[in-house]
Every structure is written in structure tokens, then in C-alpha cells.
A and B are shown apart, each in its own frame.
Chain A
């Protein structure tokens, strides 16, 4: 199994530009999570989906952030317009359907730099 796949691995953009981060969860997993890691706040949960439906987006910092999961094998996190304070590492994680203990499998992350 390839694990959780995220693209791009690195993104450098200028303030005001639109940024789209992509995630492919592990096949068969039914929950998907987007996190942001910063030095100050550690790992923050932004939003999570169960069976492609957004369940809790209370962690999304502002209206500039949006996430979609059009099918079980793909999700996007979009920032529009981007700002320098959005610079962070963004992780996607998925959970298997049969998991009782909510162990999450993380992708390698996307390092976003907004200049």
C-alpha cells in the first residue's frame, strides 16, 4: 500500500495567490483529516470528513480556507487568497473503516511558503 499521498510536497507562492493542496487517502479508509503544523501551535486539526461528508470544520481559520472531498479517494484544501501567515506544513491523514481506536495514518505533508 502506498500510504496517504499528498501533493505537492513543497509549494512556494506569493501573497494573494490561490493555493490548492491535494490528498489521496489510503484505499478503504473512510475518514480523512486535514492538519496544519506550525512552530507555535503544533498540530492543529482544520477539518475532517467521514464518508466524504465534512463533519467538523471548526478548525478552519478563516473563510479563505475551504476543503472538499468529491469522492472517497481524493480531497483538496484550498487557500484563496493566501497570506504569509498561512506558511506551515499541511498534513492529510486517514483512518481505516474498521479502526476502533482511531489511529490515523499521515501523509508526508505539504510545506507551504507564502512570500
Chain B
């Protein structure tokens, strides 16, 4: 039972343009959402997060949007850079530490 879904396995974007990665969830009890970035042969690293009491969180080029009614969140990267090419995982959590991850979206930013 996939409670967190990333329906796009891959995304290709031109350098300088906006990258939008999407994530849907089914469990209304999730109250915290995170994005992780993973390079080949490395473990995922935390990128940005958002609490369910907010609908937007921004950190430099990265912005996460949360739409609770639609159970949807998205990660915007603008402007996209070649170094952003990686697999991005969406994750959702309740306060008991049980975090669920999506299957990941592979982002390729072309120079």
C-alpha cells in the first residue's frame, strides 16, 4: 500500500528553467512532509520540509507547496542547474517517526 506516490519516474528540464516535482499522499494523518535528494552511490540527503500548518516553504532556489485538501505537494526548483540532476524522494510522516517515501523522480537538468 503506497501511501506516498510520485507518479512521474523521470523529468527532464533545460538549465535555467523551473523544475516541478509532484507528490500525492493518501494518509490524512501525515503532518510533516520532506523532500530528499539522492545522488548515485550516496544515501538520500534532506533538502527541504514543510509542516501541515503551512502551505509554502522557501529555501533559496527550492520551494515546497502543500495543498492539504488535495493531499498534494510539489517541489519547485528555479532556476534549475545541472548539479540539481538527481533522484528526488518525497516523504511524509506522522509524529511517531514512521516516515513513508515515494518511489522517487529522476530529474535531469540539461545544460
Q: Footprint of B on A, CB under 8 Å?
A: 4, 31, 33, 35, 40-45, 48, 50, 55-56, 91, 93, 95, 101-109
Contact = CB atoms under 8 A, between A and B. Distances in A.
Contacts of B6: 42
A103 B49 contact: yes
Interface residues of B, number: 24
Given A45-B98, A101-B32, A107 B93 contact: no
Interface stretch (B13-21, B73-81, B100-108): B100-108
Given A103-B46, A106-B43, A106-B44, A42 B101 contact: yes
B34 interface: yes
Of B32, B36, B42, B97, chain A has the most CB atoms within 10 Å of the CB of B97
10 contacts: A35-B101, A43-B103, A45-B100, A48-B98, A56-B98, A101-B32, A103-B46, A108-B41, A108-B43, A109-B41
Contacts of A91: 43-44
Of A40, A43, A107, chain B has the most CB atoms within 10 Å of the CB of A43
A46 to B, nearest CB: 12
A3 to B, nearest CB: 9
Nearest to B41: A108
Contacts, number: 61
A104 B32 contact: no
Interface of B: 6, 32, 34, 36, 41-46, 49, 51, 89, 93, 95-104
Given A48-B97, A95-B97, A102-B97, A43 B51 contact: no
Nearest to B105: A42
Given A106-B43, A107-B43, A108-B43, 18 more contacts: A42-B104, A43-B89, A43-B102, A43-B103, A43-B104, A45-B99, A45-B100, A45-B101, A48-B97, A48-B98, A55-B97, A102-B32, A102-B93, A104-B46, A106-B45, A108-B41, A108-B42, A109-B42
A31 B96 CA distance: 11
